[in-house]
Amino acid sequence: MKPLRVVLDTNVLVSGLKSRRGASFALIQRLGGPHFIPLLSPPLCVEYEDVLARPGMISGFTTVDAADFVDYVVSVSEECRVYFLWRPWLPDPKDDLVLEVALAGGASHIVTHNTRDFAGADRLAIKVETPDQFLKHLPIP
């Protein structure tokens, strides 16, 4: 099976790091595995680190922890350079950032807890799914 190309919204990483229960944590555990390739861009990487390093965002998580985690995500991801901006396609520019990475990298999926925020992405042949929905595409470990 060819690995799926996906973009993980920041809220999925936050959710997975806040709790060891649930689909977001299951996705984080499967990072670096053979079934999906996370895609990211330098601006999305900066957003990941900025959000994860916010005081109180994740209990006990320091700025060093955030940087180390993002370094790991980068090490198992494929970098996509965005040369064409699709803005404004979505109401929130930070969501446009995720959509642009998906388009530049030929992603099949955007994984997010806020699927409504990506309304219209299906017109661009990108499925927008929650972590739970996306896990159903992967073999059971």
pLDDT digits (tens, 9 = 90+) for 48-102: 999 999 999 999 899 999 999 999 999 999 999 887 666 666 666 678 889 999 9
Which residues is 127 bridged to in the sheet?
109
Produce one character per residue of 1-23: b if its CB has 16 or more CB atoms within 10 Å, e if not. Answer: eeebbbbbbbbbbbbbbeeeeeb
Yes or no: say if 41 and 73 are a contact pair by the CB < 8 Å rule: no
Question: What are the structural domain ranges in the chain?
Answer: 4-135
Task: Given CATH 3.30.43.10, say whether it is the number of domain 4-135.
Answer: no
Q: According to the model, what pLDDT value does residue 114 have? A: 92
Q: What is the CA radius of gyration of the chain?
A: 14
Q: Is the pLDDT of residue 46 over 90?
A: yes
